Structure 1
Amino acid sequence: MRETRIVGTLSEILKEQWQWRKQILSLGLFDLKKTSAGAVLGPLWFFAKPAVYILVFWFALGVGLKSADQTGSDVPYILWLVGGLIPWFYMQDMLGTGINVFSRYSYLVTKIKFPLAGIPTIYGISNFIIQIGLVIALLVIHFICGQPLDLYLLQLPVAMVLMFVFFDMFSLMTSLLSAISKDFMNLMKTLSTPLFWLSGIIFNVFNLGIPAIELILMFNPITFIVTMYRCAVYDKMWIWEKPEAVVGFIIVFAITLMATLVIYRRTHEEVADVL
């Protein structure tokens, strides 16, 4: 009986997403335009911050700490670094504003009968468009570094879709909980920085030499996405050649999906009253 209710909730969410797809896309594009409105450089600001971050980390790690000497590869270290930082920029936003999107779009919750499940998708779309631009920049760096056009690059769009779907789902779950409890929202914001340093974005999780910690990190979806990006542009291997990473992501994805559906079914009617 419980399984039937969960399946029914999933069906309801997917149906609403499809029926409101045009409005969701339009609002996502509008949100992007609104963010850049009034700026002389406009959309270029979306890429200025990531560029500065990449240059700072490259100088600190590649030049200052000589991390490039630890990769054991002739491929420039900058490609390895951007392979981890570029997906992080998307995930960082989803772990920041994305965990409380109902407050950002409160008018959709309180004044318009807009499906709650579609609101995280609006924010996800606006960030995903920026991510597409950053991935194009990643490919430019990839070719400048002398890397070939090969089949491994097909993993990039797959990784992007998986990242979008997982964090759209994660944003829905955490936004519901954040609307009910401000303590949960503060907890998630506190965890954002530790997740950056502990997710293999600026170090290779497979070279730690501590099997227990490496196994734990395989259940971190951020680690999986970053690994898949690097498999495509740097390591030149297929993600399934690291089965522990794939299995870990599948388990976490399934658990997150179940938790999201249960939380949505129990709390979605209360969100408007709380806000």
Structure 2
Amino acid sequence: MRTCRCWLREKRIVGTLSEILKEQWEWRKQILSLGLFDLKKVSAGAVLGPLWFFAKPAVYIFVFWFALEVGLRSGDQTGSDVPYILWLMGGLIPWFYMQEILGTGIDVFKRYSYLVTKIKFPLPGIPTIYSISTMIIQCGLVVALIAVFFICGQTFDWYLLQIPVAMLLMFVFFDMFSLMTSCLSAISKDFKNLLQTLSTPLFWLSGIIFNVFSLGIPAIEMILMFNPITFIVTMYRCAVYDKMWIWEKPEAIIGFAIVFIVQFIAMVVIYKRTHEEVADVL
């Protein structure tokens, strides 16, 4: 009997996953078009247009660089010949993408409520719309990162190939996260408020502005390995600053893989149980 129940549960999970992937594929052209339209809508009416997407990140990077390297002399403490600005950008640039998902991305059904209530757009595709528009901005920031990389006198190496891999993993992970949390946020506003409250603590506790591997406290370092933000930031820095491969830190890969699998299962189960209620709630 128990074996039969487990088989039925697994069959339902696979069926729900197939439904999610099928809807994403069948509506892929509309999803991409709406993602591009979302960017145009945000920049419409501004003289500088798309440049405003990069103005805020540029100001943030400059302020943190000035405070940490010029003010606190953090760059002198790394003991590396690679410019500190690359270490800092390697942490902040992926954070800009993740910050958007942890902000607007956790409640995209409300942002695109007309797609849910009027057009009957497939729910799994709606978080992807926002993920695509945000990832396009991320691509522009990565181009700026590579430009600074070469301006700082660094030469091309194979470690840079880790950046597109990190971007792909970040997109898939946080797209699933957006779908899962948007379903929950549509049902309960308390859940949305909780996640928005945690956004700032996650920034300061995820190794974005400090080196996780130099804490000297093995227990805390091990816990941080289960933070997907820490993993993505580590991959970026392995590419542009540390000059090493991510698999040289197997604890980071293991931690991310476990969290990825857990979230994948949670996303499918939560979507299965809540997607029919979303339209009614909105």
Q: Structure 1-normalised TM-score?
A: 0.99
Aligned to 2:53: 46
| Structure 2, unaligned runs of 5 or more | 1-7
Q: Tell me, in whole angstroms, the C-alpha distance in 2 between the residues paired with 1:146 and 1:95.
A: 34
Letter in 2 for 1:202: I
Amino acid in the other structure paired with 1:241: E
Query: In the alignment, which of 133, 148, 151 is matched to residue 126 of structure 1?
Result: 133
Q: Distance in 1 between matches of 2:18 and 2:79?
A: 48
Distance 1:145 1:206 in 2: 24
Residue 106 of structure 2: aligned partner: 99
> Which one of the candidate residues 172, 176, 180 is aligned to 2:183?
176
Question: Where in structure 1 do 4 or more consecutive aligned residues deviate above 3 Å?
Answer: none
Of residues 191, 197, 201, the one that matches 2:198 is: 191
Please report how far the alpha carbon of residue 264 of structure 1 lies from its aligned counterpart in structure 2 after TM superposition: 0.2
| 2:119 match | 112
> How far is the alpha carbon of 1:62 from its aligned partner?
0.7
Letter paired with 1:164: F
CA offsets, 1:55-82, max 9 Å, x none?
0000011111111112110111101000
1:170 is aligned with what amino acid? Answer: F
In 2, the alpha carbon distance for the partners of 1:230 and 1:241 equals: 13
* Amino acid in the other structure paired with 2:214: N
> Which residues of 2 match residues 249-268 of structure 1 at below 5 A?
249-268=256-275
Q: Distance in 1 between matches of 2:119 and 2:261?
A: 31
Cα distance in 2, alignment partners of residues 113 and 90 from structure 1: 27
Q: Secondary structure at the match of 1:249?
A: helix
Q: Which amino acid aligns with 2:9?
A: R
> Using the alignment, how far apart are the partners of 2:87 and 2:153 within structure 1?
13
SS at match of 1:44: helix
Match of 1:218 among 225, 240, 243: 225
In 1, the alpha carbon distance for the partners of 2:149 and 2:230 equals 21
Aligned residue number for residue 24 of structure 1: 31
Give 1:192 deviation, angstroms: 0.2
Matched letter for residue 94 of structure 1: I
Relative to the length of structure 2, the TM-score reads: 0.97
Partner SS, residue 112 of structure 1: coil
Q: Tell me how far apart the structure 1 counterparts of residues 225 and 28 of structure 2 sit (CA, whole Å).
A: 33
Q: CA deviation at 1:154?
A: 0.6
Aligned equivalents of 1:155, 1:75: Cα separation in 2: 18
Residues of 2 paired with 1:56 and 1:228: CA distance?
23
CA distance in 2, matches of 1:30, 1:180: 27
**Rounded Cα–Cα distance in structure 2 between residues aligned with 1:140 and 1:24:** 30
1:250 offset after TM fit, Å? 0.3
Unaligned runs of at least 5 residues, structure 1:
none
In the alignment, is residue 73 of structure 1 matched against residue 75 of structure 2? no
Question: Partners of 1:58 and 1:101 in 2: how far apart?
Answer: 32
Residue 146 (structure 2) aligns with: 139
% identical aligned pairs: 84
Structure-1 separation of matches of 2:128 and 2:114: 16
Superposition RMSD in Å: 0.5
